Structure 1
Amino acid sequence: MSTDTIRVVAPADFHVHLRQGSFSELVTKHVRKGGFTLAYVMPNLQPPIKSTEEALLYKAQLQAIDPSVEYLMTLYLSPELTPEEIRKAKAAGIVGVKSYPRGVTTNSEGGIESYETYYPVFEAMEQVDMVLNLHGEVPSDPATNTCVLNAEPTFLPHLRKLHARFPKLRIVLEHATTKAAVDCVKSLGDTVACTITAHHLALTVDDWAGQSFNFCKPVAKYPEDRKALQDVVKEGHPRFFLGSDSAPHPPSKKSTATPTQPCAAGVYTSPILLPLVAHLLESFDALDKLEPFVSTNGRAFYKQPIRMTLVENESGEVEERQDTVVLRRAKATVENQYVVRENSVVPFWAGKELEWELA
């Protein structure tokens, strides 16, 4: 790695929202535009992806938009999901199951209320080695003094209980935002990992209070929480890796709110993701951890080998090489908006300058 050029082997985003319909045609191509060759796709569509057939159909739709990306598919944890469906999904190559607490984020109205109900499903997942992805918040409740600022720490006992009950089940706590979450995951066994988003490495409460395009769930927390996220990345801890939670919404849903319809939760980073992560890691002296954070740590936990590509070398011989993305140091201004036909989306840090770009 030189000071002006960085080669990253097979960047992988282990948490991304690619939506559906014509909006998906806009945002799916941004996975590769942002420097990534693997996308772990969330199932909270309308309606959610609850069966093997639905997941495979969605994957085919994504591949039709951009076949150069490897899509790993997930199912939405719901009462319809059975141990038999888990075994069927595993055989079809589906990698994980995503759990959303009811009502805490986009399209989570069908989310869970009790984990014990799903113990037979988790047991089957443990047996066939599928991953459980947890949105780690509990719903707000004035009676228990629970709100968006402490919803994640309040959830962590559920994570500990699930890990104790299913020690061989691979579990990922998604998009951690607090020091408490970092400390909790570090204290648990090797089957528990954690994703961190790019925007949570940058934001605190002050950055989203009054700024709708920085508003997401879970919300960014305090400076000490942001530092804990940065520190565990800088440490190079092998069970912490990138899951962008890149969540696109039309500008009309981000920039306006009414008494009955709040602004949509989601920060959109896909089209600038790898340069953005490099920019942020360099800001807290962790640039040497870029490849583990965006590729090898997550791939190791998910047991996803790096794809090999056939290329012609200088001698004219065809040989196998690992997928590699190159970054170069160059100031690049983030576009204000991406538009395809009737669809548009505003990216994170629109109009700001990054220190890196894809070569």
Structure 2
Amino acid sequence: MSLYLHPSVTPDTIRDAKRAGVTGVKSYPAGVTTNSDSGVVDYAAFYPVFSAMQEEDMILNLHGEVPGVDVHTAEQSFLPVLVGLNERFPRLRIVLEHCTSAAAVETVRSLGPSVVATITAHHLSVVVDDWNGKDGGGGDPFCFCKPVAKTPADRDALLRAAASGNPKFFLGTDSAPHPAQAKRGDKPAAGVFTQPYATQLVLDAFEMACETGVLKGEDITREVLEGFLSKFGRAFYRAPDTRDERIVLERGDEKIVDVVRRDGSDVEVVPFRRGRNTWTLTWA
């Protein structure tokens, strides 16, 4: 459970939330993405809240963008805010969520152990042309999310971070099941639906990166996969270890469905990479 950072959240709210078992607080910059209209305008206004979070050992989950700037640079423009928060609250555990740029990877890597980043399954494969089209000619709206996917060099930096074995980087799906009709049109909802294929999509991205020479096959070990997909995130969140639970991944004839629809409902959700072959996942 997380709270939504909003002026109604006070230090007393944080202390009450900690006692109730709430893990952390999610911060959205105002207006940058879906359902963020009530988000943060001034981070300094929340310094007392962040101080209480540091004392209570709660996690600050950051959507790292600056409102009102070009979407291609919104994340990079936010990085000084991240650095400043870490300097002011060095013991506050911070997650830069769904990072998308080489600059974000380098910034997180340069900061202390209290700052980490998540990387989504879809950002390991998509680039700006996928959602914006070549030369801005229109791309796939089901690849559009915030922060937006960026250049091939940025994607490759994410791949290397995800396969590095560095515990500062782990999977965060940021899976968003927007109805298909909300994804189409002039102003598509920001979000990519990767469930229930997120784990397989990570492997697909690693495979493609090995084929193109961005990664080496021998670098994608079981330890790397377990760390990125599970162990690093569990360790940072101090979640219980569940070593008796395992998944088995096999290359077979699994195909991502074209649409997800609940029985009796006309709402349709389109999964990322619909119609493509992927790995088969089973629980052992």
Judge same fold: TM > 0.5, yes or no: yes
TM-score, length-scaled by structure 2: 0.91
Do structure 1's residue 199 and structure 2's residue 122 form an aligned pair?
Answer: yes
Q: 1:109 maps to which residue?
A: 37
Q: 2:59 maps to which residue?
A: 131
Distance, in Å, in 2 between the alignment partners of 1:331 and 1:236 is 29
Distance, in Å, in 2 between the alignment partners of 1:252 and 1:350 is 16
**Matched residue type, 1:278:** L
For residue 219 of structure 1, give the secondary structure of its aligned residue in structure 2.
Answer: coil
For residue 297 of structure 1, give the secondary structure of its aligned residue in structure 2.
Answer: helix
Q: Confirm or deny: 8 A CA contact 2:171 2:228 kept in the other structure.
A: yes
Relative to its length, the structure with more strand (as a share) is: 1
Q: Confirm or deny: 8 A CA contact 2:248 2:281 kept in the other structure.
A: yes
For 1:1-359, what aligned pairs fall within 5 Å after superposition?
73-140=1-68, 146-209=69-132, 210-257=139-186, 262-284=187-209, 285=217, 286-288=219-221, 289-307=224-242, 322-340=244-262, 341-342=264-265, 343-354=267-278, 356-359=279-282
> Runs ≥4 in structure 1, deviation > 3 angstroms?
none
Q: State the Cα deviation string for residues 141-186 of structure 1 (Å, max 9, x = none).
A: xxxxx31000000000000000000000000001110000000000
Distance, in Å, in 2 between the alignment partners of 1:167 and 1:194 is 16
Q: State the Cα deviation string for residues 224-257 of structure 1 (Å, max 9, x = none).
A: 1001001111211111000011011111111223
CA apart distance, 1:193: 0.3
CA apart distance, 1:292: 0.6
For residue 252 of structure 1, give the secondary structure of its aligned residue in structure 2.
Answer: helix
**Matched residue type, 1:294:** L
Range moving further from structure 2, 81-90 or 275-284: 275-284
Q: Which runs of 5+ in 1 are unaligned?
A: 1-72, 141-145, 308-320
CA change 1:332–1:287 in 2 (3 A) is farther
TM-score, length-scaled by structure 1: 0.72
Distance, in Å, in 1 between the alignment partners of 2:176 and 2:2 is 16
Q: How many residues align?
A: 264
CA apart distance, 1:280: 1.7
Q: State the Cα deviation string for residues 38-91 of structure 1 (Å, max 9, x = none).
A: xxxxxxxxxxxxxxxxxxxxxxxxxxxxxxxxxxx1000000001111011111
Q: Confirm or deny: 8 A CA contact 2:163 2:228 kept in the other structure.
A: no
Distance, in Å, in 1 between the alignment partners of 2:199 and 2:76 is 29
Q: Confirm or deny: 8 A CA contact 2:257 2:274 kept in the other structure.
A: yes
**Matched residue type, 1:249:** H
Q: Confirm or deny: 8 A CA contact 1:278 1:287 kept in the other structure.
A: no
C-alpha RMSD of matched pairs (Å): 1.1
CA apart distance, 1:271: 1.2
**Matched residue type, 1:242:** L
CA apart distance, 1:218: 0.5
Q: Which runs of 5+ in 2 are unaligned?
A: 133-138, 210-216
Bigger relative contact order, structure 1 or 2 (CA pairs below 8 A, ≥6 apart): 1
**Matched residue type, 1:345:** V
